[in-house]
Amino acid sequence: MTKALILVASLFALLALGCGFTAPEPTRIPATPIPTLPPGAEVAELSIVNFQHADATVKAGTVVIWTNNDRPLHTVTHINPGAERLFDSQTIAPEKAYRFYFTEPGTYDYQCLIHPVNMKGTITVTE
């Protein structure tokens, strides 16, 4: 009886090996499509590099695109104490970008929430 059990166990082992084991395929997450720019919108491109945010003056109806050309993660977050934040990029990885469509004239201060002491900027939107 012991020989029969060993034989059956061996057959199951060979069968399992014969079927082969393969690593599961990684889950593929589709890329998030980049929304199209509003018709007629102007574009202003700003670079985040060396822990520096930039100031810019743009016309209403301009899309501002911030690209992280630095090594660490950064954010572009509207600073408006006591009021609603109009934009917040969350984290921007190196070589990635965030954009915001400015439609209303005004002054918009922003900062990196990861490096709030030395990474601040202002977008001034004119008519």
| Per-residue model confidence (pLDDT) at position 50 | 80
Query: What is this structure's pTM?
Result: 0.69
Among the listed residues 82, 86, 113, the one whose alpha carbon sits nearest the alpha carbon of residue 102: 86
Evaluate if residue 105 carries a pLDDT over 80.
yes
- Residue-range domain boundaries for the chain: 40-127
Q: Which residue has the higher pLDDT, 15 or 117?
A: 117
Q: Which residue has the higher pLDDT, 114 or 9?
A: 114
| Per-residue model confidence (pLDDT) at position 121 | 94
Order of strands across the sheet that contains 56-59? 56-59, 120-126, 106-111, 77-78
Q: Which CATH number fits domain 40-127: 2.60.40.420, 3.40.50.300, 1.10.150.120, 1.10.1030.10?
A: 2.60.40.420
Q: In angstroms, rounded to a whole number, what is the distance separating the alpha carbons of residues 127 and 111?
A: 24
Q: In angstroms, rounded to a whole number, what is the distance separating the alpha carbons of residues 109 and 76?
A: 10
Strands (E), the chain: 42-48, 56-59, 62-68, 77-78, 97-102, 106-111, 120-126
Q: Which residue has the higher pLDDT, 8 or 126?
A: 126
| Per-residue model confidence (pLDDT) at position 21 | 47
- Looking at every residue in the chain, the average pLDDT score rounds to 81
Q: Which residue has the higher pLDDT, 41 or 97?
A: 97
Mean pLDDT of 45-66: 90
Q: In angstroms, rounded to a whole number, what is the distance separating the alpha carbons of residues 62 and 46?
A: 13
Separation in Å, CA 43 to CA 28, 46, 59, 66, 80: 32, 10, 10, 11, 24
Tell me the pLDDT tens digit for each residue of 27-55: 444 444 445 777 878 999 999 988 677 89
Evaluate if residue 22 carries a pLDDT over 90.
no
